[in-house]
Amino acid sequence: MAVKALYNYKFPARDRAEVFGDDIIVYAYWLDNPFFCSASAWRVPKNMKWKDFVGQIFGQLYGLDPDFKKVKEWKWYHFDSEFKPDDEKTLSELGLRHKSIVKFKPA
């Protein structure tokens, strides 16, 4: 369906990828842990290395959970598919795109 309007109702998406230039929005979600009240949102460079991305989200937010340090290894998902990111690869090399969500839980 489409919006009913008196005129041609077409506007660019407000948060489309090009608005963010070389950056993308990536969401992160710790599965099975509702202590964090929702997934988080991050503006990060497309060519940020995976390990730096993980360092940022764990360092700033997820490390606040007292149970965080008990976890030795994490299992990752891009949307709903399991994936095994290489630490040295960039987000775009790993197939992440604007408004991708990565989910994780203790392996």
Partner 1 sequence: MAKKKLTLAQKYHIYTRGLDWEPTYVSKKDIYPYAEYEGIKIKDWNKWEDPFRMTIEAYWKYQAEKDRRFYAILDGFIQNQGHLTLSDARYLNSIKLFIQGVTPLEYMAHRGFAFVARHLPGAGPRTAAFFQSMDELRHTQIEVHAGSNFNKYYDGFHSMTHMHDRVWYLSVPKSYFDDAVTAGPFEFVTAISFSFEYALTNLLFVPFMSGAAYNGDTPTMTFGFSAQSDESRHMTLGLQVVKFLLEQHEDNVPIIQQWIDKWWWRGYRLTSLVGAMMDYMLPKRVMSWKESFELYVEDQIIEGLFRDLERYGIRPPLHMEQSIKEKEFLSHDVYWILFSFTFAAAFHSWIPTEAEMEWLAEKYPRTFNQYYRWRYEKAKEAKTPLPGDRFYYIGLPQLCQVCQIPMGFTDPDDPNNFVQRYTEYEGEIYHFCSDGCKWIFEREPEKFVQAWLPVHEIYKGNCFAEPPKGPDDVVPQVLRWYNIQTDNFDYFVSEDYKNWKEWHKDMATVLI
Residue numbers at the binding site for partner 1 (CB under 8 A): 1-6, 9-17, 19-20, 25, 27, 29, 31-43, 57, 60-61, 64-66, 79, 97-101
**Distance in Å, CB of 107 to partner 1, minimum:** 17
Distance of CA 26 to the CA centre of its chain: 3
Closest to partner 1 by CB, 6 or 107 = 6
Q: Where are the alpha helices (DSSP H) in the chain?
A: 50-60
State in angstroms the smallest separation of the CB of 11 from partner 1: 5
**By C-beta, is 39 or 47 nearer to partner 1?**
39
Nearest to 22 by CA among 47, 53, 52: 47
User: Min. distance of Cβ 76 from partner 1 in angstroms?
Assistant: 15
Q: Are 96 and 102 in contact (CB under 8 A)?
A: yes
Q: Which residue number, 1 or 88, has a Cβ lying nearer to partner 1?
A: 1
Vertex 19 angle, CA 42 and 31, to 5°: 25
Cβ-contact 2, 10 below 8 angstroms:
no
